[in-house]
Amino acid sequence: MQKRILFGLVKGLALGLLVGSFFHFGLGWRVAPDLLGYLIAMGTGATAGILAGRPPWLHEAWLESLLKGVFGLGVSAGLYWAAVRFIPAQVSFSVFGSPENTAWTSLPLLVAPPIAILFALVVELDNNAPAPKPGVKPAAPKPKPAAAAGASPP
């Protein structure tokens, strides 16, 4: 259980920082208010949903990852709405070139990690299926023994 919590925190932090850094440094979107903030949050949740838990490249895990990603869209939009509505804090200093006195929810570098951490943590805790060992095929069902000659079927 502690291992899953730690994996969820680490994966969420790494994915959140990666997505936030992509928008902040890569695209140069220092401030992303309103609809753009929702879209960044939804992209963060979908990414965390796809990559947290069972990875999509495992055998028959792509559908589960796709569903987690779609669910992550809605959950992260709800988390972003709750952050904007109930935690309206202003950042009074510049964060890597962003303007001063900006709402923290408008800064992709600050809003993406908490969303990714929360959703990746939920996904990791929900992931209770043991990962199959590579190269090991599941056992085939045993064939039923043939009925003895002259015996009536049950």
Q: What is the pLDDT of residues 77-120, one digit of tens each?
A: 999 999 999 998 888 888 888 888 888 888 888 899 999 999 99
Would you state the pLDDT for residue 46? 93
Long-range contacts of 149-152 (CB under 8 A, 24+ apart): none
* pTM of the complete model: 0.75
Residue range 5-56, pLDDT digits in tens: 888 889 899 999 999 999 989 988 888 888 999 999 999 999 999 988 888 8
Q: Are 95 and 17 in contact (CB under 8 A)?
A: no
Q: Which two tokens stand for residue 72?
A: 């992550």
Rounded to the nearest integer, the mean pLDDT of the chain is 84
